[in-house]
Structure 1
């Protein structure tokens, strides 16, 4: 993985899309993917991400479909049928099962997917994409306003302008300050 560390903390589908930055792809090798999965591991504890020897090509393919679908959803335009069909196929990669369990005092349900860890990972990421696409907040997704950034974010505050105040926000403010105070 390059010196750039992918941002995390957005909905997982956006975190996945944001691994493709203006300066390059942060998922070019299996090691890059494992590093990204390690950073995201607490976000999907139902999948053994460290044991999931996921196919890099499958994850990148999912990322491309997710990127196009999010772009259409946030702009309110009809999505390409090929992208919808591909995402639906990825959702069906492993069956989702709900099981009843006794927790010592009551019957509870637990939902999980059956299949290899790699297939569970793809299905889980596809499920996260589906959840974001069907959330009314999808229309609020923004692209970072920094000139050299393509990352997407879902603003918690309507005045948020950058993917990260520490990265792009600081760079933009410093550049603006420099332009205002440079000698003629």
Structure 2
């Protein structure tokens, strides 16, 4: 069973974080159909999606997110891929006995593309401050620097501790 990092971030961030770094190498957590199904199960409103198309969109999102975090221009191809997906995301309002419901058209890729646009537009995207980490997060706290306090922030504290004691 695949464990996914930082689930609960905005949808596009959750997708971007399906690439992690382990022992210095990037690992694709949705490389096979079983892992992809497990990730989609965490996002049941998405429905079916072609795995190859999802992974291509993820790479475009990761490129645009990296460029946003590094404050540099994004690849035009990556930007175009996200825009094409997001452009297909049409919202319709339905009235039900439980009240109004918003339904998103255009499929999973469209919804994820729209999420990516919203994340970048919201200016709350950050990359983890641990140089060995490739994860992103949408910060709610200006002081937050690490994706996770249990792993990356703790490793940074341990490294500072070792450095201080090595100098002593």
TM-score by length of 1: 0.73
Distance in 2 between the 1:181 and 1:109 partners? 60
Aligned residue among 125, 128, 132 for 1:148? 132
- Is 1:16 the counterpart of 2:15? The answer is yes
Instruction: Tell me, yes or no, if the aligned pair for 1:17 and 1:63 is still in contact at 8 Å.
Output: yes
Instruction: Tell me, yes or no, if the aligned pair for 1:65 and 1:83 is still in contact at 8 Å.
Output: yes
Structure 1 unaligned segments of length 5 or more: list them.
42-46
Query: Which residue of structure 2 lines up, in the alignment, with residue 56 of structure 1?
Result: 51
Query: Which residue of structure 1 lines up, in the alignment, with residue 120 of structure 2?
Result: 133
Instruction: Tell me, yes or no, if the aligned pair for 1:91 and 1:126 is still in contact at 8 Å.
Output: yes
Aligned residue among 34, 38, 42 for 1:39? 42
Distance in 1 between the 2:35 and 2:16 partners? 14
Aligned residue among 29, 33, 48 for 1:30? 33
Which structure has greater strand proportion? 2
Residues 65-106 of structure 1 deviation map (CA, whole Å, 9 limit, x = unaligned): 11122223344444333223222322344x6242442648xx
Count of aligned positions: 164
Query: Which residue of structure 1 lines up, in the alignment, with residue 159 of structure 2?
Result: 175
Query: Which residue of structure 1 lines up, in the alignment, with residue 141 of structure 2?
Result: 157
Query: Which residue of structure 1 lines up, in the alignment, with residue 77 of structure 2?
Result: 82
Please identify runs of 4+ aligned residues in structure 1 that moved more than 6 A.
none
